[in-house]
């Protein structure tokens, strides 16, 4: 029997799992509050998927349009989220984002500037005003590098290329994490008082995704197994513009900044089709002629926004509808044209990453020709259910933030609200965990049996005589999700998806990795299948239960938003019988001032007629 | 689809050898795609680092037909249809396994660079900087830390395990430059740049600049201006005279020597 005392063991107050924007920001806060803090990350430091974020981070600084305020940002966020957002989270986010962005500047970030020397802000889908602080189209790199270069001087311990296998508990409290080093295959026992999950989403359950290999829903599975709840997990965002050709880059993101800077969507007949798909709810604020859209681009503040900048779900479904109707581009997408709209040097300066990405991966010069784009699984709005102010789950000492957590974005996320989410809620999670640890009255200690069980389930994969190829299992899961839990959903397919996932789960139990435990991608892949299966099953089951179309969740058999369903979140937890339990839960009524702001006419809000009584924090 | 021949270095710190794989390649594939296909179909335990697959994270650096490159940005059609593709790990860093090397040297160097130290904000709570003043720093901040420049740097390549830390390498020279040229920064890193980061060791062969996938002017825009600042500070006769007469205005000691 394994002697636990022989495992490499470290002790910390707080362990953060994940080193993207949210994890790093959480660790910086926790460390600043005097906590002995460690970060474990599956990749090397600075490589997390935050690096891929392009467009910018939304914060109502008002540097470009002084009419902007947290209230307008909050209103935009609620509307984008189809009012399913946790009201308090959307409020905290809008209020805190400007301070968090300015703080990055104190830590060395160098954003693009306005003529006055302030942080420049760009337009983006669903945002009323130019609001996204940015650095060309590499804002995510700027964010992660700033946090990394600041964080390494804050006394935080970093364990790189280290994967969490299981959360350890002492009764109902968190007591540690069992992890392993990918490089050596050796286990690492982290004994701690609080854990912050910052593991991102689970995009790798789909084949066409903008996500990298890391996005296997580890945080969802760790939380679920530890007794926490998942919420709103049916809301998976398909970004409207992923690359579609060549096949090997299918799904890689094309920033919304292309459309923010004037790019338009065309079908194969050269028709600018988005004018046909303007939802009633947005009609009052969207240009309905090419002429008005052009005036907006030229900076006319009285012109309404072009329909290409409608929310991501609307644009993604519109592209899909055009393709279905036989009007798609040669490789099954739409044309995204900025070449005919902006001079070549403007495009190269504003969108250098996109210029190189297409030039080098697709041999397309975007200053001369249109891009081909189509929807790609991009983001999980749902995730681990947390308290809005502390980011704590229902498990004592377990926190979650960033994409991994639910609530902030409701049924759909606005572009640019993700990077600001990371720094706002990363900080709150770090704060929440520190306060929890400070108030903890007694020591916690995980018993040996949990640790041994976690080690066993990982090593069994290497030790069994024969079994399933992990790569083949992963491909099968991706096929199920593409077939049954895609951008549009119907009951029969979702039921079929749930059944097929059940059957696949049995096969995953028998997964086998060849070779040793030293840097063995086959073994890593096999281990991540466990997390992917929990995530995929949760999405399929929640999608089956929600009988309406709202935001990123589209049911062909239940079209349109249903008022009744706005009353509920779908909450998932592990039942006493070990089966996944899916429940409808009544949402809480928001404070009157938030309701008033979210539903206000924009003119009234900007004139200060609404929301004067809102508290400052 | 076409059948292509790949030679992939397999082994670990103890040694290894090239193994050959015949593998189907589709149009539009990059080298990393092919490696993934080998991994999925023929060698599940083939170790390779990668993340974004779009040239933005700098994880998948390796040597392809002798040239250090990002494998996610190296298209198969850049090679002749019958050409064998040889892939091996970066030569400057110790091998962990197969195509994965131990790049911890770089993380250690980064920690040696004195962090950003901004001046006070304006009365309205904002820092003010103008675009033309941040262009240079932004150029350096494009770095994706692929460490290809570190891999080809002669100083780092030839160190033979001795004096590991006498030169931080091109990546961290431009990191230092990005701070020194940051309009808000108030610190002075010139003493370290000379004595600890090893600016004098770079002999300006520009190999680093050549391999940079972000096309950063590492040598001309970063390292050479830093060398000039060192020369101005320590070797310019007028400055030296000024220092003697008017006293030392700038910090001379490095952190290691007990400077603040």
pLDDT (tens digit, 9 = 90+) per residue, B164-197? 789 999 999 999 999 999 999 999 999 999 999 9
The per-residue b/e assignment along B106-136, b for 16 or more CB within 10 angstroms, e otherwise, is: bbebbeebbebebeeeeeeebbebeeebbeb
Helix axes A470-484, A521-545, angle to 10 degrees: 20
| pLDDT of the residue at A212 | 92
CA distances from A209 to A244, A314, A337, A536 (A): 11, 18, 22, 14
The topology under which CATH files domain A242-377 is: Flavocytochrome C3; Chain A, domain 1 (3.90.700)
CA dihedral A485, A490, A495, A499 (to 10 degrees): -30
Question: Which of B:190-219 have CB within 8 Å of A?
Answer: none
Instruction: Using CA coordinates, name the residue in chain B closest to A110.
Output: B138
Specify the CATH number of the domain B104-246.
1.10.1060.10
Q: Spell out which residues of chain A touch residue B26, defining contact as CB-CB under 8 Å.
A: 246-248
Distance of CA A382 to the CA centre of its chain: 8
Would the pLDDT of B1 be above 90? no
CATH architecture group of domain B2-101: Roll (3.10)
| pLDDT of the residue at B249 | 54
Say which residues have a Cβ less than 8 Å from residue A15's Cβ, sequence separation at least 6: A37, A38, A39, A40, A176, A177, A190, A192, A194, A195, A196
| A:B CB pairs within 8 Å | 165
Question: Which of A:86-125 have CB within 8 Å of B?
Answer: 102, 105-108, 110, 112-113, 116-119
Would the pLDDT of B126 be above 90? yes
Contact by Cβ (8 Å): A458, A180 = yes
Question: Which of B:225-254 have CB within 8 Å of A?
Answer: none
Instruction: Using CA coordinates, name the residue in chain A closest to B29.
Output: A248
How confident is the prediction for chain B on average, in pLDDT?
92
| pLDDT of the residue at A54 | 84
Residue B10's beta-bridge partner residues?
B17
Of B49, B128, B134, the CB nearest to A110: B134
| CA–CA dist A256, A123 (Å, integer) | 10
| pLDDT of the residue at B258 | 66
| CA–CA dist A103, A538 (Å, integer) | 37
Residues of chain A with pLDDT under 70: none
| pLDDT of the residue at B259 | 63
Contact by Cβ (8 Å): B50, B71 = yes
The domain limits of chain B are 2-101, 104-246
| pLDDT of the residue at A256 | 87
The domain limits of chain A are 242-377, 465-567
pLDDT 10s digits, A366-420? 999 999 999 999 999 999 999 999 999 999 999 999 999 999 999 999 999 999 9
Best to test chain B binding among A53, A109, A113 (most B CBs inside 10 Å): A113
Question: Which of A:181-240 have CB within 8 Å of B?
Answer: 183, 212-214
Contact B128 A117 (CB under 8 A): yes
What is the ipTM score, two decimals? 0.93
Of A145, A253, A521, the CB nearest to B39: A521
* Residues of A noted as catalytic: 239, 259
Contact B40 A471 (CB under 8 A): yes
Contact by Cβ (8 Å): B59, B83 = no
CATH number, domain A465-567, options 1.10.3720.10, 3.30.70.2190, 1.20.58.100, 3.40.1160.10: 1.20.58.100
């Amino acid at each position: 029997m394994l002697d636990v005392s022989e495992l490499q063991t470290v002790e910390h107050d707080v362990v953060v799992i994940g080193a993207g924007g949210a994890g790093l920001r959480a660790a910086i806060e926790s460390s600043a509050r005097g906590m002995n803090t460690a970060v474990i990350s599956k990749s090397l430091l600075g490589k997390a998927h935050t690096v891929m974020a392009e467009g910018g981070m939304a914060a109502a600084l008002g540097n470009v349009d002084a009419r902007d305020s947290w209230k307008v940002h909050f209103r935009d966020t609620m509307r984008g989220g189809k009012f399913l957002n946790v009201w308090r989270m959307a409020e905290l986010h809008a209020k805190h984002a400007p301070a968090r962005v300015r703080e990055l500047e104190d830590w060395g970030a160098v954003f693009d500037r306005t003529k006055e020397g302030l942080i420049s802000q760009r337009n983006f889908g669903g945002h009323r005003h130019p609001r996204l602080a940015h650095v060309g189209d590499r804002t995510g790199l700027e964010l992660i590098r700033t946090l990394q270069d600041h964080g390494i001087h804050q006394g935080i311990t970093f364990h790189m290329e280290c994967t969490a296998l299981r959360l350890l508990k002492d009764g109902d409290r968190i007591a540690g994490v069992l992890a392993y080093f990918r490089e050596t295959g050796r286990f690492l026992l982290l004994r701690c008082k609080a854990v912050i999950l910052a593991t991102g989403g689970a995009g790798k359950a789909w084949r066409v995704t903008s996500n990298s290999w890391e996005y296997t829903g580890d945080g969802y599975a760790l939380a679920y197994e530890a007794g926490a709840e998942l919420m709103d997990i049916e809301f998976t965002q398909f970004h409207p513009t992923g690359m579609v050709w060549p096949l090997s880059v299918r799904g890689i993101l094309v920033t919304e900044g292309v459309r923010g800077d004037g790019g338009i969507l065309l079908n194969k007949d050269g028709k600018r089709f988005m004018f046909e798909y303007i939802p009633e709810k947005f009609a009052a604020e969207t240009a309905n002629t090419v002429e008005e859209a052009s005036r907006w681009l030229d900076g006319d503040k009285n012109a309404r926004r072009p329909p290409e900048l409608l929310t991501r779900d609307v644009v993604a479904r519109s592209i899909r509808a055009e393709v279905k109707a036989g009007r798609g581009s040669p490789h099954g997408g739409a044309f995204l044209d900025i070449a005919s709209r902006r001079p070549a040097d403007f495009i190269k300066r504003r969108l250098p990453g996109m210029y190189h990405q297409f030039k080098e991966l697709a041999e397309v010069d975007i200053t001369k020709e249109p891009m081909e784009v189509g929807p790609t699984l991009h983001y999980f709005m749902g995730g681990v259910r947390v308290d809005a102010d502390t980011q704590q789950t229902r498990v004592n000492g377990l926190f979650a933030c960033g994409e991994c957590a639910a609530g902030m974005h409701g049924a759909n996320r606005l572009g640019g609200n993700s990077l600001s989410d990371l720094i706002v809620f990363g900080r709150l999670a770090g704060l929440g965990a520190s306060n929890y640890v400070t108030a903890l009255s007694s020591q916690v200690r995980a018993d040996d049996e949990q640790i041994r069980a976690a080690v066993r389930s990982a090593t069994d994969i290497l030790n069994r005589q024969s079994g399933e190829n992990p790569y083949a299992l992963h491909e099968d899961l991706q096929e199920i999700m593409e077939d049954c839990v895609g951008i549009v959903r119907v009951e029969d397919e979702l039921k079929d998806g749930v059944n097929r996932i059940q059957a696949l789960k049995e096969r995953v139990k028998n997964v086998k990795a060849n070779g040793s435990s030293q840097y063995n991608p086959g073994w890593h892949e096999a281990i991540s299948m466990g997390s992917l299966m929990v995530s995929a099953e949760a999405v399929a089951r929640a999608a089956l239960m929600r009988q309406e179309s709202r935001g990123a969740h589209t049911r062909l058999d239940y079209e349109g938003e249903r008022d009744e369903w706005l009353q509920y979140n779908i909450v998932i937890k592990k039942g006493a019988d070990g089966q996944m339990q899916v429940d409808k839960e009544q949402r809480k009524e928001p404070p009157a001032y938030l309701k008033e702001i979210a539903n206000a006419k924009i003119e009234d809000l900007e004139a200060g007629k609404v929301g004067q009584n809102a508290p400052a924090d | 689809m076409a059948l292509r021949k790949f030679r992939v270095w397999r082994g670990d710190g103890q040694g290894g050898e090239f193994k050959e794989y015949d593998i189907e390649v589709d149009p539009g594939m990059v080298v990393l795609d092919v490696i993934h296909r080998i991994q999925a179909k023929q060698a599940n335990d083939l170790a390779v680092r990668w993340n974004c697959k779009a040239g933005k994270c700098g994880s998948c650096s390796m040597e392809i037909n002798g040239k250090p490159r990002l494998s996610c940005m190296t298209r198969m059609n850049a090679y002749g249809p019958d050409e064998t593709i040889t892939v091996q790990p970066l030569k400057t860093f110790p091998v962990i396994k197969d195509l994965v090397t131990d790049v911890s040297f770089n993380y250690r160097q980064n920690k040696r660079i004195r962090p950003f130290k901004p001046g006070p904000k304006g009365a309205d709570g904002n820092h003010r900087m103008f675009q033309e003043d941040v262009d240079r720093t932004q150029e350096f901040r494009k770095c994706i830390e692929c460490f290809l420049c570190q891999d080809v740097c002669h100083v780092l390549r030839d160190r033979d395990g001795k004096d590991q830390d006498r030169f931080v390498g091109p990546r961290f020279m431009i990191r230092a430059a990005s701070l020194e040229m940051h309009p808000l920064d108030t610190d002075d890193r010139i003493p370290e740049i000379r004595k600890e980061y090893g600016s004098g060791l770079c002999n300006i062969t520009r190999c680093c600049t050549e391999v940079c996938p972000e096309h950063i002017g590492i040598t001309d825009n970063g390292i050479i201006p830093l060398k000039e600042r060192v020369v101005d500070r320590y070797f310019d006769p007028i400055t030296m005279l000024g220092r003697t007469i008017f006293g030392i205005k700038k910090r001379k000691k490095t952190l290691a020597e007990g400077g603040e």
